């Protein structure tokens, strides 16, 4: 889990080195990722099919994932690792919206933590808007919203197959959708095949397989906290790459966003244990 999160934290550096339009990079990421995942599934004999009733929903999630990653890559190109910090509002957005979408109970701690996260967002956004980098900030907010929709859709669906199988079909769908756009946008420019392969094989297929293997083995509380290595390492990698330290607003705002997210993970875990204890103690 930690390796997967850290590899995703390196994405701002990879995107800067690749220096290509976001749709081109995402199309290559999803295309090479699908090829590598397909090879993994064949080698390990995981060739089960997604149930017919779930295929349309899975295709829709694949399209939404392509949109999410395209917004994310473009936001990183505009405002760097700050886009990762803003994007990590999605766990809080999910917690706030789940009661409306999934009819789940809203815990009392959700809204206060969401307000802390939104305060962090305001701190991060203020200098971005002042400096005229509004587009990148808005795209990063779009990433958080798209990630929320992805998570809600994944929680609502039960595909009945292994995670890498789901990831294979999501990446295949996304690559096919993005291919025409990538061809139009990328015409006349050099194609960074090397970085496209790295994005697909390392940051999508390999990191995805490690992530799915960890999901069933790492306790949910630890997994949720470990995922916050992504925004933390994104800032550190970007600092090491271009020599520009994070600003005070990024440190304070990022601490509020990440801190609220980790607090949400811990509070959710305590709530789940309390509910489980109540059910266990209930007489038969």
Q: What are the residue ranges spanned by the domains of the chain?
A: 2-281
- Per the CB < 8 A criterion, the answer to whether 10 and 233 are in contact is yes
**Per-residue DSSP letter, 228:** T
Buried b (16+ CB within 10 A) or exposed e, 193-203: eebbbbbbbbb
pTM: 0.88
- How far, in Å, CA of 138 to CA of 142, rounded? 6
pLDDT digits (tens, 9 = 90+) for 25-43: 999 999 999 999 999 988 8
Tokens read off for 123 = 């701190």
- How far, in Å, CA of 133 to CA of 136, rounded? 6
pLDDT digits (tens, 9 = 90+) for 137-152: 999 999 999 999 888 8
Q: Is the pLDDT of residue 92 over 90?
A: no
Q: Is the pLDDT of residue 112 over 60?
A: yes
pLDDT digits (tens, 9 = 90+) for 237-249: 998 988 888 889 9
- Per the CB < 8 A criterion, the answer to whether 92 and 265 are in contact is no
Q: Is the pLDDT of residue 272 over 50?
A: yes
- How far, in Å, CA of 51 to CA of 161, rounded? 8
pLDDT digits (tens, 9 = 90+) for 166-201: 889 899 999 999 988 888 876 666 778 899 999 999
- How far, in Å, CA of 82 to CA of 76, rounded? 7
């Amino acid at each position: 889990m930690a390796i997967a999160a850290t590899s995703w934290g390196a994405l701002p550096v990879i995107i800067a080195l690749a220096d290509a339009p976001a749709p081109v990079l995402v199309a290559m990421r999803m295309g090479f990722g699908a090829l590598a995942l397909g090879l993994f599934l064949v080698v390990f004999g995981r060739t089960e099919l997604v149930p017919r009733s779930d295929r349309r929903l899975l295709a829709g999630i694949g399209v939404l994932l392509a949109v999410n990653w395209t917004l994310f890559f473009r936001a990183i190109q505009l405002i760097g690792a700050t886009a990762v910090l803003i994007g990590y509002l999605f766990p809080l957005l999910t917690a706030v919206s789940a009661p409306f979408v999934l009819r789940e109970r809203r815990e009392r701690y959700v809204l206060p933590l969401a307000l802390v996260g939104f305060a962090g967002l305001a701190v991060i956004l203020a200098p971005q808007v002042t400096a005229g980098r509004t587009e990148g900030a808005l795209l990063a907010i779009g990433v958080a919203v798209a990630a929320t929709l992805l998570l809600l859709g994944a929680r609502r669906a039960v595909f009945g197959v292994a995670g890498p199988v789901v990831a294979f079909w999501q990446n295949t769908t996304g690559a096919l959708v993005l291919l025409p756009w990538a061809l139009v946008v990328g015409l006349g420019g050099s194609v960074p095949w090397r970085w496209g392969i790295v994005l697909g094989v390392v940051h999508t297929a390999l990191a995805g397989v490690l992530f799915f293997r960890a999901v069933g083995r790492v306790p949910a509380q630890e997994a949720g906290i470990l995922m916050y290595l992504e925004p933390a390492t994104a800032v550190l990698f970007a600092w090491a790459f271009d020599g520009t330290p994070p600003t005070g607003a990024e440190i304070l705002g990022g601490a509020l966003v990440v801190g609220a997210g980790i607090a949400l993970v811990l509070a959710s875990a305590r709530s789940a244990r309390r509910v489980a204890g109540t059910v266990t103690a209930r007489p038969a």
